[in-house]
Amino acid sequence: MPGLVALLLVAGCGKKEIYEKIYEKPHRPVSCLKIEAKNDITRYVLLKNPKLKQLAAQQCPFTLKAISHYVTSCTSAQAKALGSDFDGFLRLELFENGKLLYRNQRDFKGCLNEGIVESLVKKMEQRIGLQTQKGKP
């Protein structure tokens, strides 16, 4: 019986949930992205993703805004006292001509890394679709 409890605990901690919301489907295929990130580290990690790197463009009707937050920068006394089971989150928001179409978010433990970005990009691709290489998904 103790082995079953341990297995359930490990299984529950293995995969981080992705929270998402579709506001509206794009009016045209997403074949380019203007990528915006508030800090250079987040932008660097985003552009290590092959799909985002290929879609990155300065002029594009689609904007991918990345918002990252690290709990260590939290100034709330309650958050500092209670601690947390995650160290931060990454949120991706897709806009078309300034209108929010899609949002997803994932908490992370440790450092923001390529795996976190990959999971969010893959989920966005499943829901919205991203076209690369001259219109091929």
Measured CA to CA, the distance from residue 69 to residue 12 in angstroms comes to 24
pLDDT of 103: 97
pLDDT of 135: 46
pLDDT of 81: 53
Measured CA to CA, the distance from residue 101 to residue 21 in angstroms comes to 9
Measured CA to CA, the distance from residue 66 to residue 51 in angstroms comes to 15
Question: Which region, left, alpha or beta, applies to residue 38 given φ > 0 means left and ψ of -120 to 50 means alpha?
Answer: alpha
User: Residue 44 burial by CB count (10 A; 0-12/13-18/19+): exposed, middle or buried?
Assistant: exposed
As a residue count, the chain comes to: 137
Kindly report, residue by residue over 74-94, the tens digit of the pLDDT.
Answer: 455 555 555 556 778 999 999
Per-residue pLDDT of the chain in tens (137 residues, 90 and over written 9): 444 333 333 334 445 789 999 999 998 999 999 999 988 888 898 999 999 999 999 999 999 999 988 766 445 555 555 555 677 899 999 999 999 999 999 998 888 889 999 999 999 999 998 886 544 44
pLDDT of 102: 97
Q: Domain 18-127: give its CATH code.
A: 3.30.160
Q: Where are the domains of the chain?
A: 18-127
Are 90 and 112 contacting, i.e. CB atoms less than 8 angstroms apart? yes
pLDDT of 108: 86
pLDDT of 83: 54
